[in-house]
Amino acid sequence: MTKILICGAYNDTGNLGVSALGNAAAATIYDIEPELNIAVQNFSGKIENVNYSGLNGDEFEVEAISLTPSRNLLKPDSLNRMRIEKSLGLSFINSFHKRLNGIDLFLDVAGGDSFTDLYGDARFSLINAIKEEAVRTKKPLILLPQTYGPFREKETARVAKEYILYAKQAWARDVYSYELMKDVLGQDFDSEKHRCGVDMAFLLPVVPSEPLITTKVLDWIESGAGFVGINVSGLIYNRADEARNRYNFKADYVECLIQLVEWVLKNTDKNIVIVPHVLVDDSLDESDFKASVALAEKFSTYSERICVQPSTLDQCKVKYLISKCDWFMGTRMHATIAGLSTCVPTSTISYSDKALGVFKSADCEEAVIDPRKLDTDAVVSRLIDSFKDRDVIREKLLNSIPKVKLRAREQMVEILRSVSVHD
């Protein structure tokens, strides 16, 4: 039985976007070829079974295998240790190594947007360690739909090109990233191998989550009271000045959110639920929940109409909550995909070009609002316009999303066919 390892979509990071990619990829494979043996890479230090939600409301089990690029040779899940074991003929003594030896196909998504040197050399090496393992063992590698680049340094662009060329197929998740891949490959671009697809999370299952939704929001859902959803990026909100300088914002992100919430509360009858999507310890600046609470506390006089969802929902259950919104605005891209893919009128304050291609695939590119190009007033004005145009946006999504979802499934069929696991 073919054993597939989904790499770079770890189930144990707290980043629901990364978890969404792993769940969506596994669920789609399981739907197409349920007899395949599916595993997912993580960094937990364990080998364990985890349950994923399926496309048909079912659950299925995959094996989660810790495979890390750690230099600590005392760690049995260290890829560096495994290479030494292999050279000494000792791989049979390590259960992690035995699992790795049993992999027939590597499917790598690099966290969706981490196949780049923007985050430094250490991150670039970490994200490529599993690709290197496929190369070393001469096993097939496919790069799942993801963002390529940018690559600022010639050396990292050269390394990236080598991995892309080694892969039996390399898929971009949008037209803009596809053009970046073409630029990296130059004359070595091959339209048969190098493909343009869509983000796999459009197929992420929706799982009802009423028992875990905060009581106030559950009451809004059950009573039919309308509410809008907002996702705040802790990465930007919690250290706003630093982020503004790092990303060259013209707009003040915090002020944009304050003005948006204030406008909704004063000019509409809509309630507001703030939905965290990166669920890490609140001592960390990346925590969306920490940022969400900070924003909500600015509107204590409206406490009956604004609520923060606790960090209790996984990737499929948070998608259910977002699917109940009348309008959704997010900064974390996979939070916005949860909205788009359930035909919720969705907008984004995005400081990365990756959102443009994803929203374009849903025929809603105009809903991407870039704080690097617009000042605070312009961002808020665009957000309000998006809210007012939500019926128009919903109609666009009702037309585009079925096609996107069909493409997401078709691309996985093509991927499996390319390595002869699907006839």
* Local mean pLDDT, 10-residue blocks, the chain (423 residues): 92 93 98 95 96 95 96 93 90 91 96 92 93 95 96 95 98 95 97 97 96 95 94 96 91 98 98 97 95 98 97 97 98 98 98 91 96 97 98 98 98 91 48
Q: Let me know whether 217 and 349 are in one domain.
A: yes
Domain presence at residue 323: yes
Q: Let me know whether 175 and 226 are in one domain.
A: no
Q: Let me know whether 215 and 341 are in one domain.
A: yes
- What's 379's domain CATH number? 3.40.50.2000
Domain presence at residue 220: yes
Q: Let me know whether 11 and 138 are in one domain.
A: yes
Domain presence at residue 71: no
Q: Does residue 308 contact residue 321 with C-beta atoms inside 8 Å?
A: no
Domain presence at residue 81: no
pLDDT at 246: 87
User: Residue 340 corresponds to which tokens in the numbers above?
Assistant: 């788009």
The 3-state DSSP composition of the chain as helix, strand, coil percent (nearest 5) reads 50, 15, 35
Domain that residue 124 falls in: 3-66+104-204+404-418
Domain presence at residue 80: no
Q: Let me know whether 300 and 372 are in one domain.
A: yes
Cα–Cα distance between 160 and 239 in angstroms, integer? 31
Cα–Cα distance between 354 and 70 in angstroms, integer? 29
In Å, what is the CA distance from 300 to each residue of 71, 261, 269, 304? 49, 12, 17, 9
Domain presence at residue 91: no
Q: Let me know whether 338 and 410 are in one domain.
A: no
Q: Let me know whether 228 and 347 are in one domain.
A: yes
Q: Enumerate residues 6+ apart whose C-beta is below 8 A from 20.
A: 201, 204, 315, 319, 334, 337, 338
Q: Let me know whether 126 and 22 are in one domain.
A: yes
In Å, what is the CA distance from 9 to each residue of 54, 113, 170, 205, 394? 16, 11, 16, 16, 29
Q: Let me know whether 328 and 370 are in one domain.
A: yes
Domain count, the chain: 2
pLDDT at 422: 45
Domain presence at residue 90: no
Q: Let me know whether 190 and 217 are in one domain.
A: no
- What's 181's domain CATH number? 3.40.50
Q: Let me know whether 200 and 222 are in one domain.
A: no
Cα–Cα distance between 287 and 279 in angstroms, integer? 6
Domain presence at residue 43: yes
Q: Let me know whether 55 and 198 are in one domain.
A: yes
